[in-house]
A and B are shown apart, each in its own frame.
Chain A
Amino acid sequence: MCAAYGKTEVLHDIDLELPPGRITGLVGPSGHGKTTLVSVIVGALRAKSGTVTVLGEPAPPRRVKDNVGFMPQSEALYADLTGDENLRFFGALYGMTAAQMAERIPTVLKQVSLPQQGGKVVAEYSGGMQRRLSLAVALLHEPRLLVLDEPTVGLDPAHRVALWATFRQLADDGATFLVTTHVMDEAANCDTVVLIHDGRVLASGSPEDLVANSGTANLEAAFLQFEAAQTGTKEDGNA
């Protein structure tokens, strides 16, 4: 599929399949189309051509919205409300009852290692805490597909490790993940890594395979190797 903002085509010929119960990582430099791709999948943007199928429903996934959890790149919280009020508002939008929320909220807060903050409004939270609350909002209604745009930006290492453990746990329970990142170390935690460059898929596969195929020592080196190869072919084509 292809996607465009106005006349600028951002994604070209992306062909991608998310295996259920697996964590797929979208890796690539900023401004190369990762966010555009997830926007198309959750239905915030429409593909210019081609089809996107989300949980068996063509995108924008209107009927399966209940089963999609989205964490945008920006915090996307109501800064003038408390954390609890934010969670309850989004929970209600996904049709959760007060009783369901009373049960789920302590669970998700634990999953994102965020202590109960009582009456504190989100504006008084630290950046990392807001990030984790934003993730809690995405997890709250127990979606089957989780689309997380840079979920670990601005988090300290301890929280980052804890979050990846949570993702793995939820994936083992059957949830499908699509996580974007530009940190190569994190990509190693994914089952499948999709390297995105300039709106195209450079390469995809398990982290181990990618490293082996490129003949390099780690993912970062592998990415640079693939990128150089891509630029090389382009120049050859021009000459």
Chain B
Amino acid sequence: MRNAMALAKRILQQFRHDPRTVAMLVVAPVFVMWLLSIILGSPGFKPTVAAVGLPDQMVQALENNATVVQVDANSTTDPADILTDRSIDAVVALDGTTLQVTVEGSNATHNRASIAAVQQAMASMTQAAQPGGQQGPPQATIDISYLHGSSDWGSFDFFGPIFIGVFVFMFVFITSGMSLVTERTGGTMERLLVSPIKAWQLVAGYCIGFGVAAAIQSVLVLAASILLLKFPNEGQTWLVVVITFSMALVSMALGLLVSALAKTAFQVIQLMILLLVPQILVSGIFDLSTAPRWMQILSQCFPITHGANALLGVMLRGDRFSGIGLDLGIVWAFFVVLFGLATMSFARRQTR
């Protein structure tokens, strides 16, 4: 075990001599999350709609949810002409009793917002036409309450916990994978392999050294996310730290294993893209409820999915340990398996 501790100490010394990497490990994830919080946290989009010959009442109703540009009948009323300069998202024209809506169509958010604005305007006009609800269905008011969170939560609040896990995973993977490749190309790996250190001690040393670094990184990234970026956190903070740290360990072990396959830094990047991008895509950022069955099963085969699940449980639903124990257990199972595989790959190299 002294061997492993010596290795861990060396890794931490290397971090100490390289403040730029240390800064990157904390600043980069926080910076990217701050960008995301602005992108996803921005208020809802208000479409611009061109009204062609609409009654005043209809224009007023539309103005609640859209910016309305009146087009007088003298100028062109061809929707295709109006939409060409792309400052207008939809053209609404009254054709007899039918409302003709032409949507620009190349931007999903703009499309949805324009159609919603027209539908809401129609609904409010119908309501206004039937005051008291004598002929139509009885008027009901809707009162929405949230079991978890509130109506203030934007998309970012739902994705935030996943991103914390993903970024910690990604940055630990890059630094550990690179560190080992440097060790190989610099020849120090050869020295390690002929020294009395055993394969499992080598892997353990790496895990302890990078584990300490990852623990510090997790705490700092979480502190910045919750305190500066105002992440919602319904649950216990220590549980969040434990989950993030566990994900960092899995990433570390995966990095060690990858370094056995990669011979250059460039290959580390290639393998990282191959191993991380699909994992991130199916980790829960996109809702997989309607995806094919095999895709749902596949998503369960990756450690990031379970880590992200546990983070969502704690941060959004306030789950306690019992609620996320299974997911956390699976993350640790991944760690144990990857640790074993990494040890085997080093043992094989030692007796080559």
- A55 contacts partner chain B, Cβ-Cβ < 8 Å: no
The answer, yes or no, to whether B18 is at the interface (CB within 8 Å) is yes
Contacts of A142 in B (CB 8 A): none
Q: Given A42-B194, A44-B194, A44-B352: A80 and B186 within 8 A (CB)?
A: no
Nearest 5 Cβ contacts at the A-B interface: A92-B6, A76-B187, A74-B187, A65-B196, A93-B195
Are A81 and B187 within 8 A (Cβ)?
no
B241-299 with Cβ < 8 A to chain A: none
**Chain A residue contacts of B192, Cβ below 8 A:** 93
CB distance from B190 to the nearest CB of A (A): 5
B124 on interface, CB distance cutoff 8 Å: no
A89 with B10, Cβ < 8 A, contacts A46-B352, A65-B194, A65-B195 known: yes
Which A residues touch B236, using CB under 8 A? Answer: none
CA distance A77 to B7 in the complex (A): 14
Contacting pair A77 B186 (CB below 8 A): yes
Contact of A76 among B7, B9, B186 (CB under 8 A): B186
If A46-B352, A81-B13 touch, does A94 touch B188 (CB 8 Å cutoff)? Answer: no
Among residues 115 to 151 in chain A, which have CB atoms less than 8 Å away from a CB atom of chain B? 121, 137
Collect the chain A residues with CB atoms within 8 Å of residue B352's CB.
Answer: 44-46
Smallest Cβ distance from B341 to chain A, in angstroms?
A: 21
A60 CB within 8 Å of chain B? yes
30 contacts between A and B (CB under 8 A): A42-B194, A43-B193, A44-B194, A44-B352, A60-B350, A65-B194, A65-B195, A65-B196, A70-B191, A72-B190, A74-B187, A76-B186, A76-B187, A76-B190, A76-B191, A77-B188, A78-B10, A78-B14, A79-B186, A80-B17, A81-B14, A85-B13, A89-B7, A89-B10, A89-B13, A92-B6, A93-B3, A93-B197, A94-B196, A95-B3
Q: Let me know if A66 is at the binding interface, CB within 8 A.
A: yes
Say whether B86 faces chain A, with CB atoms less than 8 Å apart. Answer: no
Residues of B within 8 A of A (CB): 2-3, 5-7, 9-10, 13-14, 17-18, 186-188, 190-197, 350-352
A75 interfacial by beta-carbon distance below 8 Å = yes
B188 touches A43 (CB 8 A): no
> A108 near B: Cβ within 8 Å?
no
Give the distance to chain A from B339, nearest Cβ to Cβ, in Å.
20
Would A94 and B350 count as touching, CB distance under 8 A? no
A84-128 CB contacts (< 8 Å) to partner B: 85, 89-90, 92-95, 121
- A196 within 8 Å of B (CB atoms): no
Residue from A44, A60, A90, A121 within 8 A of B190 (CB atoms): A44
The one of B14, B187, B193, B196 that contacts A75, using a Cβ cutoff of 8 Å: B187
User: Cβ of A92 and Cβ of B3 under 8 Å apart?
Assistant: yes
A residues 33-85 near B (Cβ < 8 Å) are 42-46, 60, 65-66, 68, 70, 72-81, 85
Q: Contact: A68 with B14, CB < 8 Å?
A: no
- Residue in contact with A89 in the complex, picked from B6, B196, B351, CB distance below 8 Å: B6
Q: Do the beta carbons of B196 and A95 come within 8 Å of each other?
A: yes
A78 touches B188 (CB 8 A): yes
Question: Which of under 10, 10 to 19, 20 to 34, or 35 or more describes the interface residues of A?
Answer: 20 to 34
Residue of A nearest to B10 (CB): A89
Shortest Cβ gap from B273 to chain A (Å): 26
Partner of B17, one of A44, A81, A89: A81
Interchain CB contact under 8 A, A121 and B17:
yes
CB-CB under 8 A from B191, the residues of chain A are: 70, 72, 76, 90, 137
Using Cβ atoms and an 8 Å threshold, which residues of chain B touch A46?
351-352
Chain A residue nearest to B191 in the complex (CB):
A76
Which chain B residues border A73 with CB–CB below 8 Å?
Answer: 187
The residue in chain A whose Cβ has the minimal distance to the Cβ of B14 is A80
> Which chain B residues lie closer than 8 Å to A79 at the CB level?
186
Please give the distance in Å from A190's CB to the nearest CB on chain B: 23
A68, B196: Cα distance in complex, Å:
10
- Alpha-carbon distance A68/B174, docked complex (angstroms): 34
Give the residues in chain A near B2, CB-CB below 8 Å.
92, 95
Q: Which chain B residues lie closer than 8 Å to A94 at the CB level?
A: 195-196
For A73, A74, A89, which residue has the most chain B Cβ atoms within 10 angstroms? Answer: A89
Closest to A66 in B: B196
Please, how many angstroms separate the alpha-carbon atoms of A210 and B140 in the complex? 109
What separation, in Å, do the CA atoms of A65 and B10 have in the docked complex? Answer: 21
Query: Which residues of A are found within 8 Å of B13, using beta-carbon distances?
Result: 81, 85, 89
User: Which chain A residues lie closer than 8 Å to B350 at the CB level?
Assistant: 43, 60
Residue B193 contacts which of A44, A66, A77, A92 (CB distance < 8 angstroms)? Answer: A44
In the assembled complex, the Cα of A121 lies from the Cα of B16 at a distance in Å of 12
Q: How far is the CA of A45 from the CA of B350 in the complex (A)?
A: 8
- Give the docked Cα–Cα distance between A23 and B351 (Å): 27
Residue of B nearest to A85 (CB): B13
